[in-house]
Every structure is written in structure tokens, then in C-alpha cells.
Amino acid sequence: MNTVFHSVNLDKSKCLGCMNCIKRCPTQAIRVRHGKATIISERCIDCGECIRICPHHAKTAKTDSLSMIEDYKYKIALPAPSLYGQFRNLEDVNIVLTALLELGFDSVFEVARGAEVVSDATRKLVEKGGLKKPIISSACPAVIRLIRVSYPELIDNLLKLETPMEESAFLARKEAEEKTGLPQEDIGVFFITPCPAKITAIKSPLCADKSNVSGAIAISDIYPKLLHKMKHLENVQELNQASKAGVRWAVSCGEAYSAGINNYIAADGIENVIKILEEIEDDKLNDIDFIELNACTGGCIGGCLTITNNFVARTRLKALKKFVQDTDNKINNEDELKEIGWKGELEPASVLKVADNVTDAMKFMNQVEEMVKTFPGLDCGTCGAPTCRALAEDIVRGYANVDHCIFRLKQEMEKNPNTNNDDIEKMIPVPFRGTIDEEKLKWT
Amino acid sequence: MQDTVKLHFDVSGNDFTCAGEASGKIKRTLKQLGFDISLVRNVAIAVYEAEINMVIHADGGVIDVDIDSDCITVVLKDRGPGIPDIELAMKEGYSTAPENVRMLGFGAGMGLPNIKKYTDEMNIDTVIGVGTTITLKVYNK
């Protein structure tokens, strides 16, 4: 297991070793060992589902603190469009933007602006044609990572464009350099993020050497400070330079809407994303032009680092009234269209594959199939793996033992003539007592 | 036993909630085994179509898959009504699917032609009133 960067952090003192996260993880990347959740690094896609589900708040995102901005001479805030949906009774985004300056930033650059540029690039590329259909949006970094580990053959369908965040950071840096004359290392660009996947995209980009973003501050971290400033603003500056089209990216369907694509599917929530990816893989959606996928329910407003429930945030965003109408957040020429494309190739990381050659893989698979039959199929999670099958695969890979299954352990113990079978029966969790047809399972 | 992987599925009839489960599992297994994705996709699409046919026309059946490194063989066996005119059934757009099935978006008459399109070999063995056995082969080239 390699040590690539992940933005999901475990606070061991808070982790009770319960089964909630292992069940929730869409790539089966978590196991409970020695009473603590452990992440299989190569499988984790940083979607944040475990952060969302953990009842003990043991899973956190590795975000940056607001004080980090002091490391730079010129500090730029990059508010995600989803930030605007966090507030009650907000009509004018300039209040949020001005409050960000009050928090110590020298300027703000709305990510909605970058989103409009990406939308324009999308429109132009779709018009040009020649893209593999259905075109899959590359805006959600968790989806990109999911495709990379589980659906590598769909990499060719990805729209190879920078994310609104990266594009905004690029444009913000350019603007700041022209304005201040400062060298790039003195310019700090901070994304106000709704999710941990974006943080991973910054700290460990897949298709570029380095991100233009210096740090990521969670919406949930900045929210109270920001709210305080918003309440005590003396004058509101006219800082908004994005139209509603860019802001709509915060909500599922917004991307297709902003790019003016009609024949599209927008799926949100990681389970739905997986279902759609399966259908694309089976060639069932070859009549669709564009597929927008968001790992979080509702889109970015559903990110696990937001404050407001995504259904509420959707309505809050609709309530925003004052937006500039016409913006120049556009792709102006071929060079710019080229520049917004990915700088490198996305390499597949097929973690599904079990061996380097088919013969070894078949050997593995047969062992797994045989082993699965010897487990009760309850997927109870008591072994620390999400399913009986996952445990079987772990065992064949050498990461777990057969007696991690409590039912198998019980059977082993019953073989010992000195043990009392009534006591052993009590080992089995109450819901499962007496339910297992031991004859049926080929336990040996 | 180590040179091949065998899978077996029981498909229940007229139950669209489970339709596609077998082809989905076959796809996952082939992916895990590291087969080329175009092969995986061909097998998955062909088996899906055949599986749906089984559900619509034959009140279910059984699917047996034999995976070896050179060839994937899938045998779908049902005890349905049989196919009276195979040539006609192979025509794109020809369908005998009842209205309630078409309402669900199935029965476009692309089943058999699609199965043929996505496999290297397709053999249909059908006896009226007894059942149909379809054998599919996709070679790993």
C-alpha cells in the first residue's frame, strides 16, 4: 500500500472502531483493525463519505487554517459557488465577498468565474466535435479518482479540462501578478472548499505537476468568522464578477445548464454516480451527449465540509438576486482553449485487478469463490471488512485470516472437546444466533 | 480447477428488479481477472441482452459461465416456449415482447442481433415447447 496523499484524516482517539464507515465507503477502502478504522490508501478516492457518516467525528478533512494566509504577501480568496448557498436571507453575494476581504484577504476571485470559462470551453469543444461520447465531466475530483480506480476504460470519455477551481486560481494569479508586480511565490491563493476531494486535487494533482492553489480552507471552518464579518459590514463593495450561470455549478445540472447542453444526464450522490458509470461502461448511454457527475448529493452544495443541508442550500442559492449580467469570463481564442486543457495524461490505477496475468488472477478468483462459500454471507462487518466477499479477498491476498469471521472462529472452537458449546453459542451476536444453517455452509 | 473460473446463476422469470444481476457479476469478475475492457464490455452487453430475453420470454433459467484465458463461454438455458423462427428473431426490430414489457423500455427487438454483434460465436438450440439454450463465445484475442 503506497503513501499517496489523502485529505481524509483519522483521529484515533475518537474512533471507536464501529462499522459505519466500512459499510459506507464506495470503494471498500476501509477495514477496522485493532479497534480503529484503517484506510487502504490506493483505493481511497477522497469522496468524504466516511467523514459524513462517522457518528464520532473521528474522520476529518486535512484542511488549512485561515492563519496560513499570513505566509503570503498577497492573499486571494477563491470562494466556491457553494459558499453562497450557506446563508439565510442573502440576496447579494457582494456581502460575502466583502466580508472575505475583512477576514484578511487582499482580493477575491469567484470560482464561479472560472466555472463560466470552463463552461465556455465545454461548449466550444462540444461544437468542435470529435470527443468520445458520452462526454463525462471532469469537474468532481472524487469522480475522477473513482473512474481512475474502478472504471479506467472511461478515462477516454472524460472532458479533459481544468476544474473551475484550477482555472480560477490560474486567472487570479495572472491578475494579481499584473496588479502587484509580486513574484508568484508571494501570492497565496486559497480555495474556500465544500469538500475534501478538492483538497486532494490541490495537494496531489493527477494531471499536473503542481496546483495553482496554495491552500484550502473548509467552508465549515470559515463560516462562523465570515458570518460575523458579514453582520458587521459598514459598506459593501461591488466585487461580484460572475453571473448566475457560473454560480449554478454548485448544484447538480448546473454544469450542463451553463454549457447549454440539452441531451445530458446529471447524477449526484456517489451510489448514483456508480450506477451511471456502470451503464456507460455497458454502452447503454451512447445516445447521450454529456454526463455530469457529482459525488455528493445535490452537487457541490452537498459537500461534507458545508454547513447548510444541500436541499436548503439549493433554495438559498435561488434566492440570490444581484448578479452581474454579462461577464467576460470566456475563452477568447484557440490558445486559451488549449491552455485550459489538461497538462498531462490521467494514468489508470486499476486496483480491481487481482494479479498481473490472467492465470494467476483465475487462481486467486477460484480461491476467493471457494472461500466465500464458507462464510455465512451476512456481511455483518464483525471481521472489520465490509462484506464476506471483501474478507475472502483480504484473506487470499494475505491481509486477513479465516478466524476473523466470528462464525468460522466459533466452529473452530467447537472442535475443542474441552469447551462448552453453550458458551460458544453466546459469542455469536444476538441477531444471528440460530440463523445459520451450518450444514449448508461447507465448513471444514 | 485452477485454469478456469466457473460461475453459475439462477435467473428468475418476470422479475425485472433482478434482471441484469448476473451480467453485472460476470462483468465485475472479468474486470477483476484483468481481461481487456473491450472483451469485458462485449460479454457484459451480450449476456445482459440474453438475460433480459430469459426474463421476458422464458420465465427465467440458468446461466453458466466458463472463463478461461483464451475464451469466455456463456451458456444460457431456459425452459421457455422456444423460438419458432430464428431467422425472423434475428432481424433488428423484430419483437414478440408483450406490451407490459415494452412499457418498461425492453423488447425493442435488438436482443438477438445485439448478442450476435457482441460475441464471436452464437449458437441457438431451441425446441418449441421445451426451451432454448444459447451458447455464446467471446475469444480473448
List pLDDT tens digits, range A391-442: 999 999 999 999 999 988 888 888 888 878 777 877 788 877 776 666 555 5
- Quickly state the pLDDT bin for A344 (edges 50, 70, 90): confident
List pLDDT tens digits, range A113-125: 999 999 999 999 9
CB–CB of A86/A307 below 8 Å? yes
Residue A307 pLDDT greater than 90, yes or no? yes
What's the rounded Cα separation, in Å, for the pair A306 and A320?
18
Question: ipTM > 0.85?
Answer: no
Asked if B48's CB is within 8 angstroms of A152's CB, the reply is no
Q: What is the DSSP string of A251-320?
A: STTHHHHHHT--SEEEEESHHHHHHHHHHHHTTTTTT-SEEEEESSTTSGGG-TT-SS-HHHHHHHHHH-
- Nearest CA to A115 among A214, A253, A254, A217? A254
Give pLDDT, residue A109.
Answer: 98
Which residues from chain B sit within 8 angstroms of residue A361, using beta carbons?
32-34
List pLDDT tens digits, range B71-130: 999 999 998 888 888 888 887 777 777 777 766 666 665 678 889 899 999 999 999 999
Residues in B lying within 8 Å of A, measured between beta carbons: 1-5, 24, 27-29, 31-35, 37-38, 41, 44-45, 48, 67-69, 140
Region A375-389: what's the mean pLDDT?
Answer: 94
Give pLDDT, residue A444.
Answer: 46
CB–CB of A406/A428 below 8 Å? yes
Q: What single DSSP character describes residue A440?
A: T
Give pLDDT, residue B16.
Answer: 77
Class level of CATH domain A358-432: mainly alpha
Distance from CA of B132 to the nearest CA of A (A): 25
Residues above pLDDT 90, as percent of chain B: 43
What's the CATH code of the domain at B94? Answer: 3.30.565.10
CB–CB of B92/B117 below 8 Å? no
Give pLDDT, residue A55.
Answer: 95
Q: Where in the sequence of chain A do the CATH 1.10.15.40 domains occur? A: 358-432
Residue B52 pLDDT greater than 90, yes or no? no
Distance from CA of A283 to the nearest CA of B (A): 8
Asked if A359's CB is within 8 angstroms of B3's CB, the reply is yes
Q: What single DSSP character describes residue A432?
A: G
Region A3-14: what's the mean pLDDT?
Answer: 84
Region A212-223: what's the mean pLDDT?
Answer: 96
Select from 3.20.20.80, 3.40.50.1460, 1.10.3660.10, 3.30.70.20 the CATH code of A8-61: 3.30.70.20
Give pLDDT, residue B55.
Answer: 87
Q: What single DSSP character describes residue B53?
A: H
Least confident of A344-348, A352-356, B85-89, B94-98: B94-98
Q: How many domains, chain B?
A: 1
Q: Where in the sequence of chain A do the CATH 3.30.70.20 domains occur? A: 8-61
A43, A284, A358: which to substitute to probe chain B, counting the most B Cβ within 10 Å?
Answer: A358
Region B30-46: what's the mean pLDDT?
Answer: 90
Beta-sheet pairing, B71-78 with B131-139: antiparallel
- Number of neighbouring beta carbons within 10 Å of residue A419: 11
Give pLDDT, residue A1.
Answer: 32
Domain that holds residue B129: 4-139
Give pLDDT, residue B75.
Answer: 97
